[in-house]
Amino acid sequence: MSGEIAPLFIRWSLPHWAALGVVALAAGGLLWGCRRLRMEKRVLIGKALGAVFLLTFLIETFGRIVREHWEPWQDRLPLHFCSLMTLVCFIALWFRKPWTCALAYFGVLTASVQGLITPMLHDGFPSAAFFAFFVGHGLLLISALYLPVVLGWRARPWDDVKTLGLCDAYLLLIIPVNVWLGTNYGFTRYAPAGTVLEYFGPAPWYLLTLQLPALAILRLLYLTVRIREK
């Protein structure tokens, strides 16, 4: 087995569609089932989900760092936006702080969900990296939806705008890291092939042109989970 080479991942191939289908079914089934439970059980399941989420993140991060891989070590650090969202979702599910819930919901559904649509993945099915990627990103999606759908979290006014500000702060902080390491965390240096970023101009200017469409999407998401006046 150690001498076998994993097949390359191909976007929109049958394994990609199958993985998306499994994630959608798992998310729908879990959310529907948990909504039928009492609140104390919902909270407990949310914490269990967060614990599994954190464990998966730690295992995947450790595996990427120590094993032989096609990427240089600089590209295997847990500095991608989705990696940070993993920690935010864990905190949100365990402690339900308003700002973490807002960042988890808006951040995942605006940015991290793009990872499922256009994965940055080298090894295809049935490699461990393939399963780890879709399990991790699937859990991100489930966690973000679990907060409003199951736990009843609701966004406060301007939570969407504040989330955009935090995401922009991440980009500003990661730019010097990318310059120092020669990496592309946050995609501040170039747009990965086949991603939506290619339609918003050259790097790093697409980080500016994306602000308005990102804010529009965040506002639409806010309208679905805002606190409604009685």
Q: Is the pLDDT of residue 225 over 90?
A: yes
Question: DSSP letter at 210?
Answer: T
Average pLDDT rounded to a whole number, residues 157-183: 94
In whole angstroms, give the CA distance from residue 116 to residue 46: 22
User: Is residue 212's pLDDT more than 70?
Assistant: yes
Give the model's confidence band at 69: pLDDT under 50 very low, under 70 low, under 90 confident, else very high: low
Two tokens, residue 201: 């101009």
**Predicted local distance difference test score (pLDDT) of residue 68:** 54
Check residues 42 and 75 and name the one with the higher pLDDT.
42
pTM of the complete model: 0.89
Mean pLDDT on 191-220: 88
Closest by CA to 136, choosing from 121, 151, 152, 147, is 121
pLDDT category at 128 given cuts 50, 70, 90 is confident
Please answer whether residues 31 and 42 qualify as being in contact, where contact means their C-beta atoms are separated by less than 8 angstroms: no
